[in-house]
Amino acid sequence: MAAVTALNETPATSAGRPRGMQARRRRRLNIFRYVVFTVLGLFFVLPLLGLLRFSLEGTKLGTWSGTAWRQIASYQNTGIPPLQSAIEITLELAVITCAVMLVLLVPTMIWVRLKVRWLERTIEFLCLLPLTIPAIVLVVGLGPIYNKIQHFSLSSLMLFWIYVVLALPYAYRALAAGLSAIDVTTLSEAARSLGASWFTVIVRVIAPNMRQGILNAVLLSWATVFGEFTIAYLLLYTNLQVELYSISRNTPNAGVLFSTSFAALIFTFVLLLILSYVGRIRRGRG
């Protein structure tokens, strides 16, 4: 309701072509836009700047120092694994999760689109289901299953099994968008009539054409793994977020907390930003 009233104050078209708009209305719209961008932009940026400032805090309050950033590679505290190992595990988990997600989801989605359309709704439902079942609920039921997995391996890397499920909804939507942007049937018929096997059709014809969708799926899965805390924490594994949480329990003001958090966030942010530009350049050329 409030949104509608707010929109009402600055009536305008939303197609982004203000050419036909009256000058007065456009001016008011622009003022509104700049106010919104500034206020909410500050709301988004200030906590991050806070993190950055605290990561550069010296031993005395108000002084500056780069110690916390140098500590990222070497930080160790009694009773918890070294920070560096947690970072490595999280990076490895992200790579494995993305790989498994792609191998599992891309061929299945293409195959379903081509040959088993009646299963499309079921697959979509299953992929979006993890949005409805919170991680905190999943972890309750995962206990018995991870007991069995731990018979084979105690490594934290085993978390990838469930991280793939957590990434499914985001990956599915990205891939579905990529898939619906191309004419799958025509491509596959053309390839098939030239004698391609189904493997070639999926891996060498259709998948390269939905590169942007695959890229987005990988990024979103990456972000999911990097931010995951609940399942790792409650199954007693250590990933980056659990490590940061443990450090904050031991030494609440450790500068390394803020430098690592900030680095992880900026890392993902820059990756996303760069790739969204890559996508645009490709579209422009094609």
Partner 1 sequence: MAVAATTETGARSWRAGRRPSVPSWLGTVPFLAYVAIFLLWPTGIVVVDAFKNPNGAWAFSNFTELFNPLVRGYFIGSFKLCVFSSIVGSVLGAILAYAIASGDPDGVVRRLYLSASGVLGQFGGVTLAFAFLVLVGPVGLLFHASWYFDFPWGIGLIYIYFEIPLMVLVFLPAIDGVRVQWREASENLGSSAWQYWRYVGGPLLMPAFLGGALLLFAAALSAYATIQAWENQVAYVVPQQISTALSSEVGLSNVNVADLLALGMVILMAIVMTGYALLQRRAARWLR
Q: CA quadruple 5, 10, 12, 15: dihedral positive or negative?
A: negative
Taking the least distance from each CB to partner 1, the nearer of 70 and 204 is 204
As beta bridge partners, residue 57 has: 64
Task: Work out whether 276 is an interface residue with partner 1 (CB under 8 A).
Answer: yes
Longest dimension (CA), the chain: 73
With CB under 8 A as the contact rule, the residue among 40, 154, 182, 190 that binds partner 1 is 40
Site for partner 1 in 164-203 (CB under 8 A): 164-165, 168, 170, 192, 197-199, 202-203
Task: Work out whether 58 is an interface residue with partner 1 (CB under 8 A).
Answer: no
With CB under 8 A as the contact rule, the residue among 89, 93, 94, 142 that binds partner 1 is 142
Task: Work out whether 280 is an interface residue with partner 1 (CB under 8 A).
Answer: yes
With CB under 8 A as the contact rule, the residue among 27, 190, 269, 278 that binds partner 1 is 269
Structure tokens at 185: 């049937």
DSSP helix/strand/coil, 77: strand
With CB under 8 A as the contact rule, the residue among 23, 59, 79, 141 that binds partner 1 is 141
DSSP helix/strand/coil, 251: coil
With CB under 8 A as the contact rule, the residue among 4, 23, 194, 281 that binds partner 1 is 4
Closest listed residue to residue 96, CA positions, set 49, 157, 153: 157
DSSP output for 80-145: B--HHHHHHHHHHHHHHHHHHHHHHHHHHHHHHHHH-GGGHHHHHHHHHHHHHS-HHHHHHHHHHH
Question: How many chain residues are in contact with partner 1, going by CB under 8 A?
Answer: 99
Site for partner 1 in 60-99 (CB under 8 A): none
CB of 114 to partner 1, least distance (A): 9
Q: What is the DSSP letter of 57?
A: B
Site for partner 1 in 246-265 (CB under 8 A): 248-249, 253, 257-258, 261, 264-265
Site string for partner 1, 96-115 (x = CB under 8 A): --------xx-xx--xx--x
Task: Work out whether 140 is an interface residue with partner 1 (CB under 8 A).
Answer: yes
Which string of b and e fits 113-126 if b means at least 16 CB within 10 Å? Answer: bbeeeeeeeebbee
Q: Count of alpha carbons within 13 Å of 50, Cβ hemisphere only?
A: 6
Site for partner 1 in 209-248 (CB under 8 A): 219-220, 223-224, 226-230, 233-234, 241, 244-245, 248
